[in-house]
Amino acid sequence: MPAGYNKCREDGGKIRTVSGPNKEHGLKKGEYVTYCVITRKGKRTSYRGEVHKKKKSSTSKHSSPRKYTKSYYKRAYKKSKKG
């Protein structure tokens, strides 16, 4: 990362993320960049980080929110009472 960006992070600057595609920030589809914004002596300054490629999110069957429905909890409760 650029030195100014790292210094901004160390000094407590706020991190903002911009996703592509975005012509204003020079980003293609599937890319993003982070900016660090900090105010010093009443002057707001921002520092651009490096451009990154988005990672494909992996979905596993364990992360499915449908697993934990009311009926799931009812079955689990009945099983615990039996045993």
Question: Residue type at 11?
Answer: D
In a domain, 36, yes or no: yes
Average pLDDT over all residues of the chain: 81
pTM reported for the whole predicted model = 0.59
Omega of the bond prior to 65 within 30 degrees of 0, cis?
Answer: no
- Number of structural domains in the chain: 1
- Report the share of the chain in percent with pLDDT over 90: 29
User: Which residue type occupies 81?
Assistant: K
In a domain, 78, yes or no: no
* Token couple for 38: 């900090």
Query: Is 79 contained in some domain?
Result: no
Which residue range forms the structural domain that includes residue 28?
A: 1-54
pLDDT tier for residue 47 given thresholds of 50, 70 and 90: very high
Q: Are 32 and 51 in contact (CB under 8 A)?
A: yes
DSSP state of 32: E
Contact 50, 33 (CB under 8 A): yes
**pLDDT in the model for residue 66:** 56
